[in-house]
Amino acid sequence: MANVTVIGAQWGDEGKGKIVDWLASRADAVVRFQGGHNAGHTLVVGDEVYKLSLLPSGIVTGTLSIIGNGVVLDPWALKAEVEKLSAQGVEINDDNFAIADNCPLILPIHRELDGLREAAAGAGKIGTTGRGIGPAYEDKVGRRAIRVCDLAHLDALEPQLDRLCAHHDALRAGFGEPPVDRAALIEALKEIAPYVLQFAQPVWKRLKKVRKAGARILFEGAQGVLLDVDHGTYPFVTSSNTVSGTAASGSGLGPSATGFVLGIVKAYTTRVGSGPFPTELDDDDGQKLGERGHEFGTVTGRKRRCGWFDAVLVRQSCAISGVTGIALTKLDVLDGFDVVKVCTGYRLRGKILDYFPSHAADQAEVEAIYEEMEGWRETTAGARSWADLPAQAIKYIQRVQELIETPVALVSTSPEREDTILVRDPFQD
């Protein structure tokens, strides 16, 4: 049986939650390997709706769920999310949930710095969620982070606090803010430490044991490839690598363990926050996509920008992340359009491009080149086989996979777990 790595192949919000939930019911372990609680997943199981930001989606099914070392962890957000899910009847304990003990922590000072920077950025705003993700990753690579394992040794934290505060106090002074209140920070950490430490362990060992037993592991990515700090629409990106290769470094298992790479792709395109968007629609079609797709961020509640499917971007994402097959989601949102469009290339100052350029100025200036296709009046909502789909919808799917040079493995036709057409089983690959 193959392991499966799930990533978003656009700007996030592709419907990963439902697909991961569907796959998690067939997996033995689910691992979050990057990002933080800025990634929202919505799961619909029967009449119950679960909104996750940090916990792996497998937790709802009782599957072993692990937060890997590549994640930055806000311990207070974790506690709040666990309590919320527990109130919905989800059982979470140290048997089915684990946190990497070398996972960096998001602290209150990270959230404060995030907000201060964004407020002062003016026209340079990135559109951060303000949850401290970026500053926490900065402290990680700056070798001044406080990690989960440090919560068991708070009496020995002074040298690390010296490094941390030397950096943050200078930044805070620049914003006219007082120095870090070290005593208050230590007290907050002492209060939350026992809660976090009950789940903490060297998860690479546990995953090694799971893999050795022949069990199936599902690696769950957050955001999308176009938000990758290296390969995305920089600087309008997240602060971590969102590509599939991060599953290895962010979990403690080697690259050979990551298996089938499933790219989640929405049947149209959306993004939240600032940054380039070649196929964005500011007309009735864009409004219709947003309303029918309920395009509001799970975490922020911000309205998502909407546009036609961009095959150039998705093809690039699939190549960069080594995608084996895609899961096409929200096909039903396109029901009823007389014409649907797909971006097949860009025009930039008289040149035709078959890729998305790296420089922000070029990205902002490219003009989408469209191919038009006949739409379909019939509904695709709830379809569970090819026979349930209108002929034009099937033609659309076939054209998408041709243009992105990657086969379709799954088609999702509603938020419900079972409304999924299985073309190729990732776990059997």
Which residue among the candidates 13, 21, 139, 310 is catalytic per the annotation? Answer: 13
Residues in Cβ contact with 206 at an 8 Å cutoff, skipping those fewer than 6 apart: 66, 98
Indicate the pairing of strand 351-353 with strand 217-220: unpaired
Distance CA 136, CA 139 (A): 5
For residue 205, which of 249, 250, 247, 251 has the smallest C-alpha distance? 251
263: β partners: 7, 326
41 catalytic, yes or no? yes
Which residue among the candidates 37, 41, 110, 231 is catalytic per the annotation? Answer: 41
Distance CA 384, CA 335 (A): 16
13 catalytic, yes or no? yes
Contact by Cβ (8 Å): 137, 72 = yes
Q: Which two tokens stand for residue 397?
A: 């799917």
Contact by Cβ (8 Å): 268, 277 = no
Distance, CA of 338 to chain centre: 32
CA distances from 403 to 68, 227, 238, 244, 392 (A): 34, 21, 27, 21, 16
Catalytic residue list = 13, 41
